[in-house]
Structure 1
Amino acid sequence: MEGNLETIGLLELLEMIHQNRRSGELRLEVEGLPVHFRFLEGEVVSGGILDWEGLEAISTLPLQPRGGSFRFTSGVQTGTPLLRFKALIGEWARLYDEWTRFRQLYDSPSRVLEALRASEPYGVFVGGKSVRGAARVWEVPLIIAAERAWRGLREGDLVPLRKYAWFGLRIRHPTARRTLAGQAPQPDDITVHLDGSRNLGAIVQSGYSINLVRRYLIQGIRKGEIAPPGKGWLLRDLLWEEEAEQRTPNAEQR
């Protein structure tokens, strides 16, 4: 079974699989994200975005996306339901609404924020840290860290920096050797600098725009040309950031 999410909505599709107690794998392309679910007799036993698994990943997706495609393949599955179907849908909807609210103040959990003073609970942001990084330090689910960050920004205890968690990535690309062969790179071609010696933040500092580097990462992950650690959450964040940039063209400068 395959089709278009403009013909049958995502929620309707999920409910149909559940009601018919189907077992198998559902693969979707939702707003540029490759998404997967495994069903056991109509219940979701796993799901996520690329290598980012679980309800945390699922809840960042809209239940009513603008479009996309799907393919369901029947097959034997094992596992324990993440939640019973109705509870899963309810929690998914609630968490997505929370993400929508938080993203009114920052574009993605990869955004680096800085504390204006070392008062708790924002001491972790002194010197700058991403929301995802704060969640790891606090040892709390990402959605809880996201709410704390949102509250800190709203109350003026935190400010966003022009940095992202992915600035720390080092990527080695084969075409970086072209400069050694004397071939002149294109002005907007960052691959010649991806020899693994510098992280992406250093490449941005050298004069390449955040938007250009972000677009390279999105295309590279989608095509399978690069596979950085955590590529699932990274792609989710990059697309959120791109969406915010399109909505507010000067967002990169904030």
Structure 2
Amino acid sequence: MLRVQAAVTGRHVLPFQLSLVRGEIVSGAVLDWLGLDALLSCPPDPQAGEFEFVVRPQGGTPLLPYAQLVAEWARVSDEWQRICAVIGSPSRRWQAPLPGFQAAEGRSVRAALPQSNQSLIALAETLAQAVLGGQARPSGQFAWFGLRLDVNAPRLTGHPLAQLIDGQRDLGELAALTSTGATRAYLLAELEAGLRFPGCGWVWRDLLWETDVLGESD
């Protein structure tokens, strides 16, 4: 097993791991986000960070033949950079005349994915094309807005935003009281400090994409 803390955005890192059996990659994960989509969202050749090999019994079948997986990983990594420059991240909610995105309040690629019969990146590409064609508008919200942190969960107890965590407000309400950018930065800092919750893997990945391409108010 290879564990990676890849430097991806300024001082931020993306934690992921992959398991190998007889030279083939059999699994990949960003914390609790598991599978091929998770692995392909990670940088295939991080230039900085921390790397740890752990030898332990592993099972499973290859996700793809190794040479094919490496080529696909490089291609998809480049595609994610291009797509997120347009849509922000798979967590950003958009309203568009596309299946799954037609609600007035908008939906994220993450929310629309289960009914789409597409891969994560294919659906994100479909949305990006609608955005570029002037057929989609952002709602100003994100999939992670619905998260409600337990009052005892925050590690950064001295952080100004931590004082607003009361177990009742969700992160969308926190963003309304402060700003989307400040709430994003706070949540990312909490994750880096050790905060964990169901879905923290895809949230961490999306926060980093957003940090890279969106402004304080986006």
Alignment TM-score, normalising by the size of structure 2: 0.88
- The CA deviation string for residues 34-83 of structure 1, in whole angstroms up to 9 with x for no partner, is 11111111111111111111110111122232311211122321111111
Aligned AA (1:197): Q
CA shift for structure 1 position 128: 1.1
Q: Name the residue aligned to 2:216.
A: 252
- CA distance in structure 2 between the partners assigned to 1:221 and 1:189 by the alignment: 16
One of 187, 196, 215 as aligned partner of 2:167: 196
Is 1:89 aligned with 2:70? yes
Alignment TM-score, normalising by the size of structure 1: 0.76
CA, structure 1 residues 124+136, in 2 after alignment: closer, same or farther (shift >3 Å)? farther
Question: Relative contact order (alpha carbons < 8 A, sep ≥ 6): 1 or 2 greater?
Answer: 2
Q: For the aligned residues, what is the CA RMSD?
A: 2.1
- CA distance in structure 2 between the partners assigned to 1:72 and 1:86 by the alignment: 21
Contact 2:130 2:136 in 1 (8 A): yes
Deviates more, 1:228-237 or 1:121-130: 121-130
Q: Name the residue aligned to 2:48.
A: 67
- The CA deviation string for residues 126-168 of structure 1, in whole angstroms up to 9 with x for no partner, is 3211121121332432112101110110111101232211111
One of 34, 44, 49 as aligned partner of 2:15: 34
- CA distance in structure 2 between the partners assigned to 1:175 and 1:41 by the alignment: 40
Contact 1:175 1:191 in 2 (8 A): no
Corresponding pairs, count: 211
- The CA deviation string for residues 94-136 of structure 1, in whole angstroms up to 9 with x for no partner, is 2112212212212211111123xxx444653532111211213
Gaps of 5+ in 2: 8-12
Gaps of 5+ in 1: 1-24, 177-184, 246-250
SS of aligned partner of 1:74? coil
CA shift for structure 1 position 230: 0.8
CA, structure 1 residues 93+175, in 2 after alignment: closer, same or farther (shift >3 Å)? closer
CA, structure 1 residues 120+232, in 2 after alignment: closer, same or farther (shift >3 Å)? closer
